[in-house]
Amino acid sequence: MRSKTYIIAWDRAIDNCIDVSNQLKDSDVQHVFYNVSSVGEQTDNWVRRPDIRYNSHFFYAIKDFIASDNEIFIFNTGDISYTDYVGYTKYIEKLFKENPNLGAFAPDNTNDAFVGPYSMIARSKKYRTLYLSTNTNGAYLALHRDIVEYINKFYDWCVENNVLDFTTMRTGWGLDMTYCALIIYLNRVIYRDSGVMMFHPKEQSYTHEAGNHEYRSIISAFKTFCDHVGIDKNRIHYILDVTVRRARDLGTVLNPEIIYSDPKKVVEA
């Protein structure tokens, strides 16, 4: 299965972006850098983009991916440090090929509210370092093409109905929770990798108040979208509620039977 990786190159992360570019430039890993930094384009894989924020980059990448024939969408915010992106991309491609029911994948990373026990549903029965999770982190993740198609429909619906203006949003909060809730609703697997801890800095260019406001807006819009396209929004609400409760309280009991409507589809994952 072929992937395409989208990376955002911006000034506060530019040294790391150049490192990632150097890792990828002589490989056969399909990738593109959306460059909003003050430095010039480093390779033919760098393209100049307006200085926009997470959601706009993410959905622009979604549109580009939909127009391709690739099967695995990988998004990297540019400030995620790792030493072997070529090898890890190949690993991700292999993992999706081996697991047709895999909807999303992410490594563990620092400064992530959903890492490890905060999102763990169960340890994988097939892979030593992987675990079934309620959530990825939007900083570095991989999605199966059919999940990307759902996200693209959500975006188009929001734009056509003037529900959300993603161009004004700064954080991306809530977006990962929507597609992860959808994946669980579809009885698909979300894997996270405890064998890899990527470094994601703690600093942010926005306030938590802004993040919480955008989170509530995206969750509300997604529930309305679900109702519009025939997805049970009450079930989505339940999955989101379980996800948040788990992240806030490690004493909460969580297993496939609690969060999946058809746990038989994931218990051997």
What domains lie within the chain, and their CATH numbers? 3-265 (3.90.550.40)
Amino acid identity of residue 1, one-letter, is: M
Q: What are the average pLDDT values for consecutive 10-residue runs of the chain, which has 269 residues? A: 96 96 97 97 96 89 97 96 97 98 96 92 97 94 98 96 90 91 98 96 65 88 96 97 92 93 95
pLDDT value for 88:
98
CB 117 within 8 A of CB 188: no
pLDDT value for 204:
60
Alpha helix segments (H runs only) across 103-204: 145-160, 175-185
CA distance 136 to 177: 8
pLDDT value for 54:
87
Alpha helix segments (H runs only) across the chain: 14-24, 54-66, 85-98, 145-160, 175-185, 208-229, 233-248, 256-259
* Token duo for residue 180: 């992860």
The count of other CB atoms within 10 Å of the CB of residue 239 is: 22
Angle, CA 47 vertex, CA 175 and CA 12 arms, to 5°: 65
pLDDT value for 111:
86
pLDDT value for 208:
61
* Token duo for residue 32: 């593109």
Sign, Cα dihedral of 23, 27, 29, 35: positive
CA distance 78 to 34: 10
What DSSP state is assigned to residue 212?
H
